[in-house]
A and B are shown apart, each in its own frame.
Chain A
Amino acid sequence: MSEVHAEVTQWNRRDFPTAAREVLQNSQTRKNVKHATNVIQAKRNAVVAELPDWEDLREAGAQVKAHTLHHLDHYLMQFEDNCTRAGGNVHWASDAAEANRIILRLVQQHQAKEVIKIKTMTSEEVGLNAHLEANGVRPIETDLAELIVQLGKDRPSHFVAPALHMNRHQVREMFQREMELPDLGDRPEDLATAARSYLREKFLRVKVAISGGNFLIADSGGICITESEGNGRMCLTLPDVLISIVGIEKVIPSYRDLDIFLQTLPRSATGERMNPYNSTWCGVHPGDGPKEFHVVLLDNGRSPILADKEARQTLQCIRCAACLNSCPVYHQTGGHAYESVYAGPIGAILTPQLHSMEEGRSLPYASSLCGACYEVCPVKINIPEVLIHLRGKVVREDQGTFAGKFSLWNIGMQTAAFLFQDADRLAMAERFGQIGQKPLVSKDGFIEWLPLMLDGWTQSRDLKAMPAQSFRDWWAKERAPHSDNSHDDGKGSDA
């Protein structure tokens, strides 16, 4: 069977500051994102506050994930054995191309021209839809928000609520156009009814479904998916063939561990105590559900992350998107500015690592390191710590190039590091600063324009000028001579 290679979706073409600048011009998108994230975050905070053992659940989730990642080979093999025994077929895909090839071949074996899909970020990651389309197979998204994104030829901006950047008026317009329903109203029930009629016919007709997976359960070979709409349940049970594409980091040791995650995931993701639909299945059962079941276990850059002790925790992620909803940067930009399937704080650490730091190099800097993401993370990924670790990698790599070594940033930072190792140097630099700033200081003691990259500050902010006397000079002049406890044991420069 033939295979045509699709053009890869163009993510990561622009750096974050450039893409963000464009989004910041779009006041409607910003309003939608701010409203939606505020609503989800408030719901999340309320249902999390109900649980007295929330911190213990976070810790337990983090430990289960860390343990599993430490023994990933063992648990994946166990999953494969048990899934195969239950009648499933396990495929291993080392990268996106291999995953696409495996899935296309399975679809072609069943002469399917259409497939229905449950929202799966992993299929977004490998660019599956484009690959299927290039080979004459039409993928139909059945998650309402994914359907909105697909019909609107848009990109997802949030991995729990992919159409979070749109409001219902925008959705109505798009449905009117794409579903040819000129009289469609914009009440939520109008939109839901339109989507339901559109999708029901597909559920009953299409024979192949593609899903992702929230959890691979090693000791039974089962898969668990949580969702809110029930459209996923339709895909999992009605078609003859089910293909699930799941990242290798999604494995957990035992069904018992769901006890933790089925509490933390829905509360973190949608602010629900429990997801309306929690589907767990294991292999195939005659007369019940799909006749054929395949799992594609996807690596696609995950193994190298495992090898990095500092960054390994990235793979603990259960894709709840609480870090997006809590992130003040995401609140301003939404997901598209990240130019990546995975947006927000987790995207800022995951994307560059999945691409071996070749793409998304600006993403580790797309954070003020405020720590809100770490505070809400249900598996305790210390995202700020990983961001700094990745910044360290970017800096080291840049310093290895001529342009990077002689960049203003590097020269400035090296100079500052030299000054900060010795108080006399620092004091002299302060005096230079006090004098050197004079041409820039306005009458009331503020700097309104700065040169080079520093103009980023003054585009929206004034800067208080340095006062004529530093604290250390004040102390030396006013206090040190009279003080009987000044520190004078000669602990001087150690440079």
Chain B
Amino acid sequence: MLVSLFITCYNDALFPETGKSVVNVLERLGHRIEFRPEQTCCGQMHWNTGYLREAVPIIRHFVRVYRDAETVVVPSSSCVAMMRDHYVKAAEMDGDTGLAAEIETLLPRVYEFSEFLVRKLGVEDVGASYPLKVTYHASCHSMRSLHLGDIPIRLLRNVRGLELQPIQNMQECCGFGGTFSIKNADVSSAMLADKVRNVLETGAEVCTAVDNSCLMHLYGSLHRQGTSVRTAHLAEILAATDGARA
């Protein structure tokens, strides 16, 4: 299958290793990867902050870049949630019925990374090896918008050597929420403190998720507190093999 990687804006700038890991895993499974350099952003930050009109040209750009793609894979559940929950509404708000129609035909071909592996490819064991204690943070959009359920957990259970540590209150938000973390910095920090306490109580060496946004937030505190717990996107764990570790 020819897979088009939508890296997302923040992964592009801040987490290129995640993108490389996605390429690694999908190529290992025998798929061809393309990267359309015209790609930018899904528009989530603008839309969720209330800059609705400003989000529309960003959405239109995304659709133009990917409208003829066979399959689009995105290593970020919140960006896919943005597309599924809000794109059609944004096009309708703009009165652009053509765009709304294009979105309707494109979105069934857009997948979050772990969802693509399990729901589209039917693969739960990608041949990874990662002999560390890992806890999984279920990001809000992965659970409540994409309804990924235990998909990421099933992928992690098939990783050689990985010890999965259950976490308390897995369903509760880490407090990132995009610009919420700045507009309501105190509340966001209090939410983060609870989440980090739960992560530390698991005894895990690594905290993983399908969203680097949550992980960036979590690691911001783990690092500030001087802990040795690291964060790694699920793709980075799945890319690790006996020979090479991400």
Contacts and interface: CB of A to CB of B under 8 A. Distances in A.
B151 interface: no
B152 interface: no
A417 B50 CA distance: 13
Contacts of A422: 40, 61
B185 interface: yes
B117 to A, nearest CB: 20
Contact of B20 (A329, A392, A461, A471): A471
A479 B16 CA distance: 14
Contact of A370 (B19, B41, B173): B173
A421 B58 contact: yes
B76 to A, nearest CB: 12
Contacts of A466: 13-14
A20 B187 contact: yes
A491 B23 CA distance: 22
Contacts of A200: none
A153 interface: no
B216 A420 contact: no
Given A370-B144, A417-B51, A420-B40, A485 B186 contact: no
Nearest to B180: A368
B197 interface: no
A391 interface: yes
By secondary structure, the B interface counts as: helix
Interface in A315-370: 328-329, 331-333, 364-370
Nearest to A393: B50
Interface string A462-485: 111011011110111001100101
A370 B177 contact: yes
Interface string B1-33: 010100101011111100110010000000010
B228 interface: no
A23 to B, nearest CB: 9
B223 A462 contact: yes
B190 A24 contact: yes
Nearest to A469: B16
Nearest to A333: B187
Interface in B183-223: 183-194, 216-217, 219-221, 223
B52 interface: yes
Interface in A435-485: 446, 448, 453-454, 456-457, 459-464, 466-467, 469-472, 474-476, 479-480, 483, 485
Report the interface size class on chain A: 35 or more
Given A457-B182, A459-B189, A471-B12, A368 B175 contact: yes
A368 B217 CA distance: 13
A461 B184 contact: no
Contact of B177 (A332, A369, A421, A454): A369
A424 to B, nearest CB: 9
A456 B184 CA distance: 8
A388 interface: yes
Contacts of A460: 185, 189, 192-193, 220-221, 224
Interface in A162-178: none
Closest 7 CB pairs of A and B: A368-B177, A391-B50, A456-B185, A461-B220, A370-B173, A371-B144, A460-B189
24 contacts: A20-B186, A329-B187, A333-B187, A365-B183, A368-B173, A368-B177, A370-B177, A372-B144, A390-B50, A391-B48, A391-B49, A392-B51, A395-B49, A395-B50, A413-B49, A420-B40, A420-B43, A426-B9, A453-B182, A461-B192, A461-B217, A470-B12, A479-B23, A495-B57
Interface of A: 16-17, 20-21, 24, 328-329, 331-333, 364-372, 374-375, 385, 388, 390-396, 413-414, 416-417, 419-423, 426, 430, 433, 446, 448, 453-454, 456-457, 459-464, 466-467, 469-472, 474-476, 479-480, 483, 485-487, 491-495
Given A20-B186, A461-B189, 11 more contacts: A16-B184, A17-B185, A366-B184, A385-B85, A388-B48, A392-B52, A420-B40, A456-B182, A471-B7, A475-B35, A486-B35
